[in-house]
Structure 1
Amino acid sequence: MKLLALSVALAASLCTCDASLASVTYTEDHKFHVQDGVAENWVAKANLTRKYYETGWDFLEVETNGDYPDNDQAYAAGLVEAYLTKDLVVMHWNNTVSGYCQWQGQEMCDKLNDYVATNEQWVNSMVEQNAASDPYWHQVGLVYQQLNGLIDGVDLTPSIPGDPGVKWLNIAGDLEDLEVALTTPANRPKHLKASWGSRTLGSGHCSALIKVLPGGEDLYTAQVTWSSFQSMMRIQKRYVFNYGQTDGPDKVAIPGRVSTFSSYPGILSSQDDFSILSSGLVTQETTIGNSNNDLWKFVQPEGQVLEWIRAVVANNLATSGEEWTDVFGRHNSGTYNNQWMVVDYKRFKSGDTALRPGLLWILEQIPGTVMAEDVTGVLQSQQYWPSYNSPYFPEIFNLSGNPELVDEYGDWFSYDMTPRARIFRRDQDGVTDVGSMMKLMRYNDYKNDPLSACDCEPPYSGENAISARCDLNPANGTYPFSALGHRDHGGTDMKLTTTKLVPVMEFISIAGPTYDQQPPFQWSKADFVDTTPHWGHPDLFQFDPIQWNFQWQ
């Protein structure tokens, strides 16, 4: 299946129906006003196309007006997004964070609130001191302004006293690590414990692959999100933010002023994370985590910026992989620890057999340490770069406690011999077009593939695949650690972009768990349907691939 044929087939199925428009104005009484349609003097405008029950995605575009101060643009962007998506935000909040303080415990919830408040106080002081001249702090401040607009627009009142609001939707990635870091050391579980807080030992977040086609015909970048199935209310977003690198009459536009990304209601970053940027960069990650308790002391509320904010700021400011890793690495929070991949499509042309330096940078973060490197040479020699929740850099691998996990549980926790590493190594050479790339990224034949075998009963796991389906593991099975067992978890999408799609900032996507070799996921057939909130979801997730064309280019 060649890209051209796929694009034609997809485009024919798209329309502009079910769309809604809104805009925000700033009036002489110094107030923001939200209204339907696009006002003449708009500060921000948005277009929401509801296609969730047809495609598995809704589609949102938000644009700001560069004639207004950046802070006003950012706040209005959050406000107009909230206006159009409030019902979706409420449902996603109910599905994912509502009741958090009840099941996590009020003591931990109070610690998290105190941490976030102290951190925000420090960040705000840095923004006040430096934003006028420092692009980094100016962009950090704009993220918070947009978040404030979103919060004010949704005005979500928690149903349980002390429950987190919309803000906690955005820090969900950081939250898993903060739960561990803020536990009293004497009470903190050892890193080999089956699970603690919201984390499951060995639990993966995402599979990713960067693939050079034979003869340098094309360069594909793809990611599969792994998450709980209750998170599957999805929005693809395009932000067109006419910010300056700093504010003022002679401001210079940010390189990443346009971004297209997969996301969720009420969340301002991708959080998957998968983004295509007007700078020519594509950024994605898979989570590597941290299993070394000695490192949590480096997680502090002052002197650090939460991971999701640093990702947005790096996307806004960077023009190269090296710049991106430099910006992102500042003020490392040690939370939501990932391997980031930054692909600079400006450095690739079809037919390139000798890859240009700087094409692919990676960054790995753990508490107290950030490492980054141009790994284009590795991509050149292998013709692919895989990522599957295991650190590449030996120093990061060793510091984060992985050798102890290998000693305890074997190759599953290694870099080279974990199942997904072996599947990618075996099958990546068969990628010759978009269709075969999608097939690999959706691959899960866990009952028949010897690489999916484990010391389990039955002797295989739906986790051991490029797109996991842990819901298919039998609930009465036995597994050496909890990630391999039966649970509400798996691959929840597939995203793929190419050299032809990056210039128009588009990607091909499939919503929902893989059904290529397995039955499609259906809530009414899941044994956890009554205990897992899924407000607003369709019953059956069996969607076709799509390539969405946003209206405001």
Structure 2
Amino acid sequence: MYKFLLGCLLVSLQLIICIQSVQLGQWPSESKTAYAVFDESNEEFVIVNHEPTRDKYVAGAKFANAINQTGWATFEVWTNGNFPDTVQSKAAGFLEGYLTHELIYFSYLNTLQDYCKGRDGYCSKLRTFLATNTKWVNKMYTKLRNTSPFWHQVGLFYEQMEGMATGWEKAAMNTGHSMGNYGLMWFNIFGDMEEFEQMFASQKAGKDWRLNKVGRRHMAASCSALIKVLPDGSDIYTSHVTWNGYESMIRILKKYSFEVHRTAADDSAVIPGHSMSFSSYPGLLYSGDDFSVISSGLVSMETTIGNNNVELFKYIKPTGQVLEGVRSMVANRLASNGKEWTEVFSRHNSGTYNNQWMIVDYKLFKPLKPLRDGLFWVLEQLPTLIESRDMTDVLRSQSFWPSYNSPYFTTIFNLSGVPALVEQYGDWFTYDKTPRALIFNRDQSKVTDMDSMIRMMRYNDYRNDPLSRCEKCEPKYSGENAISARNDLNPANGTYPFHALSHRSHGATDCKVTSHQLMTSLDFIAVGGPTFDSLPAFRWSESDFSNLSHIGHPDLWKFEPVQTKWTL
């Protein structure tokens, strides 16, 4: 445990030292380091465990599995700009696939292994869609990457995934592990699967539990987020809480540092987002939560808004569109400001994994100074439609922006089909009267430092808080109705008006927060596992979900916050 020096401010010519006490867990001190050297004679990467001279290695990486100690594994990879961009990307993926091989396999066993069992028709349609989409994407980036920054970065994403598959397979030669008919693409579409599940009509009576293992369950909230300007204007905190199935809690904090260029042309500039840190999962090449701290000075994050308008699914096509996770990473790499981020992300909208994205440009923030236009952008997506806007005025007027899976923009709200849910179920599906909206509005003023921000984001007092009350539930509450959900604590024999409020293996599985000071070094503070601030910590052996696969998990999820400490 130690005290974290959050920052120092010069105010009215008097130096004021601001020390924020945050009890932090131990960042893993033991790690594996490896380098990828390209063997030209065999056209393959070779793993070496000592640092070669810079002219020899394409990429280096560090990996540590401290899930049992902190709730997190960590992975950091950096590449050498003396090599072509495609080689750098493949080498980075190769090292990640090789070093995180075991966690990828555990995640496969916990979330994907039985995904297609009993529904071959659905999975056949999904595989056909993915194959057609990948073929079209490959054609586009092969043709356009010399002149198009967008398509070059798309190509690098797929080449990094190719490298990851090669690294995974190399490690599997020693372990004998196999993922059957599932490739790494399946890990990278876990958000898009919400739409694919509904498009291809995969749900069957008594089988909808699978929806929570990879995709996001229909009509269920997932994630809370808050951007908060401190009362004295000294800082802006940006925080995100992931909601997901507890089977998904093998998590990795990652940092990518790539010396790649805007296009494949030799004379193009290095990308603004050449380095970024983010919370993620085994096998993913982007955050997936999503929460990313970027060298361009941007922080990007989202909460899922979904799509309940079945008429829009016909606009989701395997050609002409790029999947959401790919576009989010391309925007993270290419954008220098919030407006650019929304423009890049809007290209070739897939209409899958529909979110409210929030982009904070910390370059425009000056402590104790008025907020500058362009500091905060919001984007919301549906099939055929993206709406985005500079929302800095909202931060000026109310000092915070909350996000909780409900569309803000009226056009998006109406087109998404949410009004029908409001009519059927009431205020829970509204933007301004849903429980988390009311809790954020009531409690955000209590945030004055890092401790209070983490408490805000980990908050759940569902049995006592009147804003968590559920009149149509029996008993009259739900652990869903809080900033950090704990659906496992809802009585299994209770009654609930819709599934999201019920007893299930689902809840807030983390918390991440960064600040003006932290993000300058691409750092953030993270807490792993379901909240236990005022509730019993989650323990697999004492839950009624112990039959769910949770290989590689600690039994007891009770961890302190950790602060990232990157090598580069």
Distance 2:20 2:264 in 1: 43
Corresponding residue for residue 130 of structure 1: 144
Answering whether residue 101 of structure 2 is matched by residue 86 of structure 1, we say: yes
Q: Report if the CA contact (8 A) 2:105-2:179 is conserved.
A: no
CA distance in 2, matches of 1:160, 1:167: 12
Query: Are 1:396 and 2:412 counterparts?
Result: yes
**Number of residues of Structure 1 aligned to a counterpart in Structure 2:** 540
Partner residue, 2:491: 474
Give the partner amino acid of 1:401.
G
SS at match of 2:142: helix
Cα deviation for residue 188 of structure 1 reads 8.6
Question: Deviations for 1:189-234, whole angstroms, at most 9, x for unmatched residues?
Answer: 9xxxx99955544311110000011121110000000000011111
Deviation at 1:160, TM superposition (A): 8.0
Please report how far the alpha carbon of residue 49 of structure 1 lies from its aligned counterpart in structure 2 after TM superposition: 2.3
Q: Check the 8 A contact 1:24/1:39 in 2, yes or no.
A: no
Which of 452, 458, 462 pairs up with 1:442?
458
Matching residue's letter, 2:473:
C
The offset of 1:154, in angstroms, is: 1.1
Q: 1:82 to 1:6 in 2, by over 3 A?
A: farther
Deviations 1:358-410 (CA, angstroms, capped at 9, x unpaired): 01001000111111000001111111000000000000000000100000000
Q: CA deviation at 1:182?
A: 2.8
Using the TM superposition, give the Cα deviation of residue 422 of structure 1 relative to its aligned residue in structure 2, in angstroms.
0.3
1:356 aligns with 372
Q: 1:329 to 1:372 in 2, by over 3 A?
A: same
Q: Pick the aligned partner of 1:276 from 263, 277, 293.
A: 293
Q: Of 189, 196, 199, which aligns to 1:171? A: 189
- 1:535 maps to 551
Match of 1:297 among 309, 314, 318: 314
Q: Is 2:44 the counterpart of 1:31?
A: yes
Q: 1:301 is paired with a residue of what secondary structure? A: coil
- Measure the CA separation in 1 of the matches of 2:195 and 2:218: 13
Match of 2:513 in 1: 496
Aligned residue in 1 for 2:115: 100
Amino acid at match of 2:361: D
The change in CA–CA distance for 1:236 and 1:412 in structure 2 (over 3 A counts) is same
Contact 1:101 1:164 in 2 (8 A): no
Contact persistence 1:208–1:387 (CA under 8 A):
yes
Amino acid in structure 2 at the alignment position of 1:489: H
Cα distance change on mapping 1:340 and 1:125 into 2, 3 Å: same
Taking the TM superposition and a 5 Å limit, the aligned residue runs for 1:235-314 are 235-314=252-331
Q: CA deviation at 1:14?
A: 3.9
1:20 maps to 32
Q: Match for 1:399: what amino acid?
A: L
Partners of 2:456 and 2:95 in 1: CA distance:
38
On the 8 A contact 1:2/1:435 being kept in 2, the answer is no
Distance 1:201 1:24, change over 3 A: closer
Q: TM-score, normalised by structure 1?
A: 0.94
Give the whole-Å Cα distance in 1 for the aligned partners of 2:386 and 2:343: 10
Q: 1:14-163 maps to which residues of 2 (within 5 A)?
A: 14=27, 16=29, 18-29=30-41, 30-40=43-53, 41-103=56-118, 105-155=119-169, 163=181
Unaligned runs of 5+ in 2: 7-18
Partner Cα distance (1:484, 1:425) in 2:
21
Q: Offset at 1:332?
A: 0.5
Query: What secondary structure sits across from 2:519 in the alignment?
Result: coil
TM-score (norm 2): 0.92
C-alpha separation in 2, matches of 1:188 and 1:536: 29
Change in Cα spacing, 1:300 to 1:14, as seen in structure 2 (3 Å) is closer
- The 3 A distance-change label for structure 1 pair 426 and 9 is closer
Per-residue deviation, 1:90: 0.4
Residue 239 (structure 2) pairs with residue 222 (structure 1): yes
**Structure 1 gaps, min length 5:** none
Change (3 A) 1:288 1:179: same
RMSD, matched Cα = 1.9
Q: Give the whole-Å Cα distance in 2 for the aligned partners of 1:3 and 1:224.
A: 24
- Measure the CA separation in 2 of the matches of 1:160 and 1:285: 30
Distance 1:2 1:547 in 2: 9
Q: Distance in 1 between matches of 2:143 and 2:487?
A: 48
CA contact (8 A) 2:540 2:555 kept: yes
The equivalent residue for 2:10 is none
Aligned to 1:432: 448
Aligned-partner SS, 1:121: helix
Q: Which amino acid aligns with 2:415?
A: L
Describe the SS at the equivalent of 2:401: strand
Other-structure match for 2:361: 344
Distance in structure 1 (CA, Å) of the matches to 2:397 and 2:211: 41
Query: 1: CA distance between counterparts of 2:103 and 2:391?
Result: 40
User: Residue type matched to 2:390 in 1?
Assistant: D
Contact 2:27–2:70 under 8 Å retained in 1: no
